[in-house]
């Protein structure tokens, strides 16, 4: 049986991480199910008591999602429309019990290819804040998740939050998830997007991401360039072509074949763009 530490202050957590290797546990909804039937001999740093890291705060230039902010906290928060995609994803993470305990940061630190939080956070241009006794560093989410269940976090670092910049223009967002049934399901494909509207009604900027179709969810940079400058309307859906999803590298598994995933990704991207283009 390993040790168990539940500090009440971030500084105490960082000092503990600096002293020795500890396994961080937040909501535990990824951590515990992965260890069923195995001895629990890790030395645990339970961060659920770090109240200062709970909730979503706002400055002039960005929002910050604290490390122990749960999916339910996201759903209940009053946020601008460009967070709608993240809120939709939050409603689809497991059931209510999982949404109450599971955290947004736990989802990205677990770095599963099927993590529902990653595509909406990529579309929001999120950065990850990592703190240690030596200071704070900030990485774009694209540089934080570096592979299937691999992140750039160093052993003495705690992810203390996510920083979301405010878009330069009015923006809207969405999220679509395809699973084998309606609820409580691991994604076969999910797609998230943010569209910024220029004063003349064209796309000032588009950010789109697809998950579950590669080791790490991918931004659709080629398609984003094609969308920039186009009039916002339902016809945005037809801008998405097969060539735009060629950068995905889906696998065959019990939930779907690679070919099915590739086709579904294109269908979902088109559907999302049509819906965002038709939004008032
Ligand atoms: C029944 C069920 C259904 C689920 N459904 C979905 C779903 O539909 N979609 C989905 O995406 N996920 C789903 N999950 C997975 C899980 O609930 C989410 O990924 C959740 O957001 C994880 O958050 P957590 O706080 O519980 O993470 P934890 O289990 O506490 O931690 C996950 C990992 O991240 C690390 N970690 C956590 N916080 C930090 C931090 N601040 N700094 C550094 N490292 C950290 C931990 O060391 C661990 O490796 C489901 C899980 C269950 C059990």
Q: Where are the domains of the chain?
A: 171-278
Q: Which tens digits make up the pLDDT trace of 112-169? A: 999 999 999 999 999 999 999 999 999 999 999 999 999 999 999 999 999 999 999 9
What phi, psi does 46 have (nearest 5°)?
-85, 115
Q: Which tens digits make up the pLDDT trace of 161-187? A: 999 999 999 999 999 999 877 777 888
**Closest by alpha carbon to 191, among 209, 173, 178?**
209
| Atom 42, ligand 1: residue with shortest CA distance | 159
* Cα–Cα distance, 23 to 44 (Å, whole number): 5
Q: How far is the CA of 107 from the centre of ligand 1 (A)?
A: 4
116: Cα within 13 Å, side-chain hemisphere: 27
Residue 79 near residue 63, CB atoms below 8 Å:
yes
Which pair of structure tokens corresponds to residue 161?
């939050």
Q: Which tens digits make up the pLDDT trace of 219-268? A: 999 999 999 999 999 999 999 999 999 999 888 888 888 899 999 999 99
pTM greater than 0.85 = yes
| Atom 36, ligand 1: residue with shortest CA distance | 106
What's the gap between Cα 252 and its chain centre? 23
Under CATH, which number does the domain 171-278 receive? 3.30.390.50
| Atom 21, ligand 1: residue with shortest CA distance | 107
* Cα–Cα distance, 267 to 173 (Å, whole number): 17
Residues touching ligand 1 (Cβ under 6 Å) are: 23-31, 33, 47, 67, 92-94, 98, 101-103, 105-107, 109-110, 115-116, 153, 158-159
* Cα–Cα distance, 38 to 205 (Å, whole number): 48
């Amino acid at each position: 049986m390993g040790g168990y530490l539940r500090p009440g202050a971030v500084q105490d957590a960082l000092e503990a991480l600096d002293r020795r290797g500890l396994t961080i546990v937040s909501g535990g909804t990824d951590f515990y199910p992965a260890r069923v039937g195995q001895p629990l001999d890790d030395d645990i740093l339970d961060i659920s008591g770090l109240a200062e890291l709970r909730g979503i705060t706002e400055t002039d230039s960005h929002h910050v999602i604290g490390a122990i902010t749960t999916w339910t906290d996201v759903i209940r928060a009053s946020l601008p429309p460009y967070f709608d995609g993240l809120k939709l994803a939050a409603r689809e993470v497991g059931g209510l019990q999982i949404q109450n305990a599971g955290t947004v940061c736990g989802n990205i630190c677990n770095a599963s290819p099927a993590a529902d939080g990653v595509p909406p956070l990529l579309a929001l241009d999120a950065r990850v804040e990592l703190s240690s006794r030596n200071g704070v560093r900030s990485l774009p989410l694209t540089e934080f998740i570096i592979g299937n269940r691999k992140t750039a976090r160093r052993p003495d670092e705690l992810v203390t939050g996510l920083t979301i910049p405010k878009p330069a223009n009015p923006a809207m967002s969405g999220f679509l998830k395809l699973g084998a049934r309606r609820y409580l399901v691991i994604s076969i494909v999910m797609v998230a997007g943010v569209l910024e509207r220029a004063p003349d009604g064209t796309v000032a900027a588009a950010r789109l991401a697809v998950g579950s179709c590669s080791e790490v969810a991918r931004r659709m940079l080629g398609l984003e360039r094609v969308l920039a400058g186009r009039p916002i309307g339902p016809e945005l859906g037809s801008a998405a072509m097969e060539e735009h999803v060629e950068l995905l590298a889906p696998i065959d598994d019990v939930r779907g074949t690679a070919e099915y995933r590739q086709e579904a990704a294109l269908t979902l991207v088109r559907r999302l763009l049509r819906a965002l283009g038709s939004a008032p």
